[in-house]
Amino acid sequence: MSDLRTLRVALLGAGSVGSQVARILIEDRAELAARAGITLDLVGVAVRSLDSARDWDIPAELLTTDATALVQRADVVIELIGGIEPARTLILEAVAAGADVVTGNKALIAAHGPELFDAAARVGALISYEAAVAGAIPILRPLRESLAGDKINRILAIVNGSTNFILDRMDRFGDTMEQAQKTAFELGFLEADPTLDVDGYDAAQKAAILARLAFHADVPAEAVYREGIADITAEQIRDAAAAGATIKLLAIAERVTGEHGEGISTRVYPALIPKEHPLASVHGGNNAVFVEAAAAGPLMFYGAGAGGVQTASAVLGDLVSAARRHVAGGPGLTEGATAKLPLIPIGEVSARYQIALRVSDRPGVLAQIAGILAEAGVSVETVVQSAAEADEVSGEHAAMLVIGTHTSREDAVQNTVNALRSHEAVRAVISVLRFEGE
Amino acid sequence: MSDLRTLRVALLGAGSVGSQVARILIEDRAELAARAGITLDLVGVAVRSLDSARDWDIPAELLTTDATALVQRADVVIELIGGIEPARTLILEAVAAGADVVTGNKALIAAHGPELFDAAARVGALISYEAAVAGAIPILRPLRESLAGDKINRILAIVNGSTNFILDRMDRFGDTMEQAQKTAFELGFLEADPTLDVDGYDAAQKAAILARLAFHADVPAEAVYREGIADITAEQIRDAAAAGATIKLLAIAERVTGEHGEGISTRVYPALIPKEHPLASVHGGNNAVFVEAAAAGPLMFYGAGAGGVQTASAVLGDLVSAARRHVAGGPGLTEGATAKLPLIPIGEVSARYQIALRVSDRPGVLAQIAGILAEAGVSVETVVQSAAEADEVSGEHAAMLVIGTHTSREDAVQNTVNALRSHEAVRAVISVLRFEGE
């Protein structure tokens, strides 16, 4: 451990976030020292290659390719490599050496959080990860500390800027999914491989982290029910608008009562949000976390969900907190006791649904479909029928049915949808979407 | 100090917030103990009269009228009496006895913060006051901790629910100021004496607290420039809408460059906010704090700004944090070094303005007025002229002029407005409002 006037900071990774963290540590050194009560001394930056181009030119003498050695001479290690390995091993080595860790690695925290937190707790080290969820938005600390005396009932969160950008383009500019993805890619909102974002894996990792903090329970990312946005069409956006809603990819962590009592439901899917809900106004690549707590009522935290310099703000906030702890002593925040709330399967969760079908346009079809729904206990609230193009093969006339249900259980709706799929009058089940935030 | 398994909590005041704090401490005792790592034992509730009616029936054996004695047997004192005395003396006594303090007392923190913080720092006690600004919304902790590694440039905040309710009624329901105040009073949004809210004193106290945390500088509440909403008319709301804006009472804390260099401007006034700004969608009695930070970019924190149970959430968050500190040891958060940023007078601050005038409707008047503005260096961006009713006394025809300026300095605008007031063609200066959040 260094003397009490300097904190040795090691930075692992110098991508878009890491290079901004290095810049601010160097350019704002005096101000950060005043804020932290101790000088934050950047002792090294571990990179894969010494001569890659970076968003900000890190002084060459700080660069090293030996992350393992760097970790050994730091009081705080900032891990911004991403992915599971070597990040996991390096963090475990840092903690074993008594260093605190700041990371923005959502995949690692979602997959190996308990292992890392246990290792840190054993030696009294601190792992903080505000940057892992919703970029610059302070959300983890408010959940963990400010709301520690309250009971969180539900979190509805827009935590993936790429998919929000795409859906917002479709909603506000009338883009098709293909056009919107192309624009998102060109503007840097979407990676070359968009799977992590578009299929909801990124949001599921964040849902798992949010659920852990909100409900003090371990939630593996694989346990999060997940649907992506790839199949969302301009038509669905229009159907949503007709129902007074807009489509957002939500990460949801909710306290629900399942068949065997209270538990946690975590799920990620494109949902219909009423236009007047605060989340409906979250445009472009922004993120927002809407929290419903028993005493506080509804709260919303809004801001940039990604971006190098924005995310650096969250990393540096964690770093200053860790530094203050070094000055003041004491163990700082721990992850807290883990509650034993069970995970409730998606089938036991209820919502209102919007079901869009293409059906044969002949007498009696609507009655037959209504009958199938009624049999499964799914009660119809609204029906909009419109003409569809004639079938290309048979030339038979078709109609579009957009059905809004009353609140129904997911398993009942899925059974109904399966029955509809095999019904001879149903040409296609176009979409099944849930309402949230009502 | 009690043993490490129980934390003795004293509650001073059992009004709408206090009685909810007592209720949750008693009803959620087990859950709070798990969260805090220690049992939170409510040892007494100091009240003015033992048999007042309360929002929740506090067990009679906990009630006492002797606050001074109660403070002596507590590890944490929750002060929810409000006002300066006896709250100030009781907090000083609590701190002298080694207790931590949680308070929601904005008037006291704004007026005597430094005295209280110094007293606490001398004995290593903690004073937390999340409930003092924006009720349930976690904002002080994010400013102090999450954004500690960033540089805050500006805060625009809706921190007074009463005035937001009134202005929102006028904007969305077409109420007059009188009608809106009447409704606010009937629904409990406005006190019998509305001065503190309507004239902006409450918002000014909160602006001072926000400025302290954002800029690490002492800002007395009296140093906050202040205009209330009493003179806002339905006509101004319409003029704002015509300019694509809505009127909100803002508490502003901003880093600005004045004549002698960088400093802090704090001000409270009804301002024109563009309709598409996130603050424009804050309806009813809600609060929101919009923060612009150098790295994080724009962030917004939104939720209930008042209400007994909502504010209790913030109080209990501070209490659980204080309890964790008791368990873990260490000094917890301190107020941090105070920077020496000077306060910049309002005259040196710049904005765009909307100036509404009633003028004589005769040839040449517009040219004369434009000349007065130009002479003072105030550049006109837009002018809307419309017919006004004829003067009641002279019968002379009048016109309304709504002038939008380019960005101008406050002192130049005030000089201009004074010159306009004494111009023979100007019947009245109806309003001078600033644009914010552009």
Q: How far apart are CA B381 and CA B244, in angstroms?
A: 14
pLDDT of the residue at A280: 94
| B63 assigned to a ligand binding site | no
The per-residue pLDDT for range A241-283, each reduced to its tens digit, is 999 999 999 999 999 998 989 999 999 999 999 999 999 999 9
Amino acid at residue number A401: L
Is A206 known to be catalytic? yes
Please give the mean pLDDT across all residues of chain A: 92
DSSP, collapsed to helix, strand or coil, labels residue B81 as coil
Count of beta carbons in the 10 Å neighbourhood of residue B43: 17
A130 contact residues in B (CB cutoff 8 A)? 146
Show the tokens assigned to A261. 């009592």
The per-residue pLDDT for range A100-125, each reduced to its tens digit, is 999 999 999 999 999 999 999 999 89
Comparing CB atoms, the residue among A149, A303, A339 nearest residue B300 is A303
> In angstroms, what separates the C-alpha of B359 from chain A's closest C-alpha?
41
Q: How far apart are CA A420 and CA B247, in angstroms?
A: 52
Q: Are A102 and A87 in contact (CB under 8 A)?
A: no
pLDDT confidence tier of residue A331, bands split at 50, 70 and 90:
low
- B329 pLDDT more than 90: no
Spell out the alpha helix ranges (H) of B124-269.
Answer: 140-141, 161-173, 177-186, 195-198, 201-215, 234-242
ipTM entry: 0.91
Across the interface, do A317 and B35 touch by the CB < 8 Å criterion?
no
Nearest to A410 by CA among A323, A335, A322, A347: A347
Q: How far apart are CA A319 and CA A29, in angstroms?
A: 13
Comparing CB atoms, the residue among B138, B319, B329 nearest residue A147 is B138
The mean-pLDDT minimum among A2-6, A24-28, B430-434 falls in A2-6
- B2 pLDDT more than 60: no
DSSP, collapsed to helix, strand or coil, labels residue A329 as coil
Q: Once rounded to an integer, what is the mean pLDDT over residues A306-323?
A: 94
pLDDT of the residue at A332: 56
Q: Quote the strand ranges of A188-295, DSSP E.
A: 225-226, 245-258, 261-274, 286-293
Interface of A with B in 242-281 (CB under 8 A): 278, 281
The per-residue pLDDT for range B393-438, each reduced to its tens digit, is 677 788 999 999 999 999 999 999 999 999 999 999 999 999 999 8
pLDDT confidence tier of residue A438, bands split at 50, 70 and 90:
confident
Cα radius of gyration (chain B): 24
pLDDT of the residue at A192: 79
Q: How far apart are CA B140 and CA B214, in angstroms?
A: 9
Interface of A with B in 10-69 (CB under 8 A): 20, 24, 28, 31-32, 34-37
pLDDT confidence tier of residue A221, bands split at 50, 70 and 90:
very high
pLDDT of the residue at B176: 96
B295 contact residues in A (CB cutoff 8 A)? 20, 24, 136, 309-310, 312-313, 316
Show the tokens assigned to B140. 């002080």
Q: How far apart are CA B182 and CA B133, in angstroms?
A: 25
The residue in chain B having the minimum alpha-carbon distance to the alpha carbon of residue A310 is B296
- B83 pLDDT more than 80: yes
Nearest to B435 by CA among B373, B359, B374, B382: B382
Distances A410 to A226, A264, B206, B360, B375 between C-alpha atoms, Å: 14, 15, 46, 69, 70
Q: Are B318 and B367 in contact (CB under 8 A)?
A: no
pLDDT of the residue at B337: 55
A145 contact residues in B (CB cutoff 8 A)? 138, 141, 317, 320-321
pLDDT of the residue at A2: 44
Q: Once rounded to an integer, what is the mean pLDDT over residues B183-193?
A: 89
pLDDT of the residue at A306: 85
The per-residue pLDDT for range B106-146, each reduced to its tens digit, is 999 999 999 999 999 999 899 999 999 999 999 999 998 89
Domains in chain A with CATH codes? 6-136+309-328 (3.40.50.720), 140-304 (3.30.360.10), 349-435 (3.30.70.260)
pLDDT of the residue at B333: 57
Q: Once rounded to an integer, what is the mean pLDDT over residues A292-301?
A: 96
pLDDT of the residue at A44: 98
The per-residue pLDDT for range B28-42, each reduced to its tens digit, is 999 999 889 899 999
- B372 pLDDT more than 80: yes
pLDDT of the residue at A218: 87
- B332 pLDDT more than 60: no
**B192 or B428: which carries more pLDDT confidence?**
B428
pLDDT of the residue at B232: 96
Q: Calculate the CA A100 to chain-centre distance.
A: 25
Catalytic residues of B: 206
- Is B216 an 8 Å CB contact of chain A? yes
Interface of B with A in 85-144 (CB under 8 A): 130, 136-138, 141-142
pLDDT confidence tier of residue B53, bands split at 50, 70 and 90:
confident
Q: What angle do CA A118, A98, A102 make, to 5 degrees?
A: 70
Q: How far apart are CA B391 and CA B403, in angstroms?
A: 21
Q: Once rounded to an integer, what is the mean pLDDT over residues B349-366?
A: 92
